[in-house]
Amino acid sequence: MSFDTLGLSAGLLRAIGDQGYTEPTPVQRKAIPVILAGKDVLAGAQTGTGKTAGFTLPLLQRLSASPAGKGRRRVRALVLTPTRELAAQVGASVDTYGRHMPLQSTVIFGGVKINPQIARLRRGVDILVATPGRLLDHASQKTVDLSQIEILVLDEADRMLDMGFLPDIRRILALLPANGVRQNLLFSATFSNEIKQLADRLLNRPELIEVPRCNTTAERIVQVVHPVDKHRKREMLSHMIGAGNWRQVLVFTRTKHGANRLAEQLEQDGLSAAAIHGNKSQAARTSALAAFKGGKVRVLVATDIAARGLDIDQLPHVVNYELPNVPEDYVHRIGRTGRAGKEGAAVSLVCVDEHRLLRDIERLLKREIPRVVLQGYAPDPAIKAEPIQNGRNGTGHTRPRKQTGGRNRGGTAAKASPGARRKSAVNGSGEKRTASKPVHKHVRRKAGDSRKQPQRRSRSGQGRERAVSPGG
């Protein structure tokens, strides 16, 4: 089957041809005709399957088929993504495929100045790609009007829920036209009960599309586990990269501090490396990614959320330096390789502390990942398992606590225990951290005491005191 059998316009087919694509991927073959027909979609597609083009192409065609009226362009399509990197990727896809269409688009996310975004929105756009936090910033300042949205896309909805964005999504939905008026498209790499509940509320008799079966990994990715002692992981990683002459390697760590430390150690080993995570500025993240794509940096060390949405053509190697706490994150990690029909390799360095995490991953995949002990790196059987140290708090939990709220906007996550206020902070990539901060002690007031309670000030550009959300 070719693209010209899907009912796409000549302008879109020309843009597709410019990119060298001839045959649609399975998710594109299934999703494009359904979206062109105006139906709601619930799609379970792994990253790297071409799902972005799967909704971008029909979205562009539907909007161009019914041009907006005279005057300033109004936002007619909204694409929500969990991270800045994914928003930028989707925005680039809209620009690429829409180059021959009479449509305007822009991307907005946090971590950068808001004024240029305001100026672009004032000039008018048809398609808006946004992260939830920054979109709500614009909505609170009345610099964006969402009342005439015709198409809503939630991309990587599972990650948005994992990051505690459900309250934000609800606030955004309240700003949109009635559900029966707009078309809704929900794309998720994995399905969970929370995703199904969101779909029940958001979608109207949706078409279910699953390519491949959810919670599976791409068939073209060769997976292997190398058992190794924790203190020898860095040594083994450097050995594999050097001995195998790996020129482009994406390495995942569990924490931001671990990413920085590993990148520094690899540099000491003579391997050009850079770290990308939520504590890095947007400019630093963009620079590191550009250097990695351009071959100036051989190893990119990343945390899970910071790497979500990274689109790197023909990335040959992904390494799990530390296994993720959540099994589904393993699927997202290795999905950075083996994209668009290309082959890739996913290597996991597993110490005795991570055996439980590995079992959880294999249970999700419904298969056992082959174990290969590298010569000279056999683990010491005398070493006993220790609790996984997660981030700064040093807790031994192997799974993060479930987040029930987002960004302290009326969600249950904002409730405080007696005597302390839980101040939730979300960094630039969406990785949450929580710190306890003592509140003012309650003092019994005497009659006539008119002293005011301390008030929280809001900063310009935010409208309320909060931390910048992932990509927003």
* 121 in a structural domain: yes
Question: Domain boundary at 365, 380, 404, which?
Answer: 365
Identify whether residues 187 and 231 lie together within a single domain: no
Neighbouring C-alpha atoms within 13 Å toward the C-beta of 121: 24
Sheet holding 151-154, edge to edge: 105-108, 127-130, 77-80, 151-154, 183-188, 41-45, 207-211
Query: Is residue 173 a contact partner of residue 160, using CB atoms and an 8 Å limit?
Result: no
Q: Which helix (H) or strand (E) holds 397?
A: none
Indicate the residue type of 271: L
Q: Which domain holds residue 58?
A: 3-211
Identify whether residues 64 and 176 lie together within a single domain: yes
Residue 364: phi and psi, rounded to 5, are -65, -45
Neighbouring C-alpha atoms within 13 Å toward the C-beta of 348: 27
The CATH number assigned to the domain holding 43 equals 3.40.50.300
Identify whether residues 109 and 167 lie together within a single domain: yes
Identify whether residues 204 and 243 lie together within a single domain: no
- Write out the two tokens for 424: 């939730």
| Non-local CB neighbours of 116 within 8 Å, separated by 6+ positions | none
Kindly state the DSSP code that residue 370 receives in the 8-state scheme. Answer: P
**Pure H helices in 128-270:** 132-140, 157-162, 166-173, 193-202, 233-243, 256-268
| Cα 467 from Cα 225, distance rounded (Å) | 38
* 378 in a structural domain: no
Give how many domains the chain has, as a whole number.
2
Among the listed residues 167, 227, 184, the one whose alpha carbon sits nearest the alpha carbon of residue 77: 184
* 395 in a structural domain: no
Identify whether residues 197 and 244 lie together within a single domain: no
Query: Is residue 130 a contact partner of residue 108, using CB atoms and an 8 Å limit?
Result: yes
CB < 8 Å & 24+ apart, contacts of 89-94: 89/52, 89/309, 89/310, 89/311, 90/52, 90/56, 90/129, 90/155, 91/129, 93/52, 93/53, 93/56, 94/56, 94/60, 94/127, 94/129
Identify whether residues 130 and 261 lie together within a single domain: no
Query: Is residue 353 a contact partner of residue 388, using CB atoms and an 8 Å limit?
Result: yes
* 160 in a structural domain: yes
Identify whether residues 191 and 247 lie together within a single domain: no
Among the listed residues 264, 225, 258, the one whose alpha carbon sits nearest the alpha carbon of residue 372: 225
Query: Is residue 144 a contact partner of residue 50, using CB atoms and an 8 Å limit?
Result: no
Q: What is the pLDDT of residue 278?
A: 79
Q: What is the pLDDT of residue 285?
A: 85
Indicate the residue type of 73: R
| Cα 312 from Cα 294, distance rounded (Å) | 10
pLDDT tens digits for the chain (472 residues)?
789 899 999 999 999 999 888 889 889 999 999 999 999 999 987 666 788 999 999 999 999 998 776 778 999 999 999 988 889 989 999 999 999 999 999 999 998 899 999 999 999 999 999 999 999 999 999 999 999 999 999 998 888 887 789 899 999 999 999 877 899 999 987 777 888 888 888 999 999 998 755 445 556 789 999 999 999 999 999 999 999 999 999 999 999 999 999 999 999 999 999 999 878 887 888 899 889 988 999 999 999 865 566 767 778 999 999 999 988 888 888 888 876 567 789 999 999 999 999 999 999 888 999 999 999 999 999 999 998 876 543 433 334 434 334 443 333 333 334 344 333 334 443 444 334 344 444 444 444 444 444 444 433 343 333 333 344 4
Q: What is the pLDDT of residue 339?
A: 67
Kindly state the DSSP code that residue 412 receives in the 8-state scheme. Answer: G
* 374 in a structural domain: no
* 94 in a structural domain: yes
Question: Domain boundary at 335, 365, 395, which?
Answer: 365
CB atoms inside a 10 Å sphere around CB 100: 16
Sheet holding 249-252, edge to edge: 221-227, 344-350, 317-320, 249-252, 299-302, 273-276
* 266 in a structural domain: yes
Identify whether residues 104 and 241 lie together within a single domain: no
* 93 in a structural domain: yes
| Cα 438 from Cα 435, distance rounded (Å) | 10
Indicate the residue type of 175: L
DSSP assignments along 420-449, one per residue:
EEEEEEE-TTS-EEEEEEEPPPP-PPPTT-
Identify whether residues 237 and 193 lie together within a single domain: no
Identify whether residues 206 and 225 lie together within a single domain: no
pTM, two decimal places: 0.63
Identify whether residues 52 and 149 lie together within a single domain: yes
How far lies 30's CA from each of 1, 43, 54, 337, in Å? 11, 10, 8, 23
Crossing angle (nearest 10°) for helices 26-36 and 51-65? 20
Question: Domain boundary at 211, 238, 272, which?
Answer: 211
CB atoms inside a 10 Å sphere around CB 372: 10
Identify whether residues 225 and 334 lie together within a single domain: yes
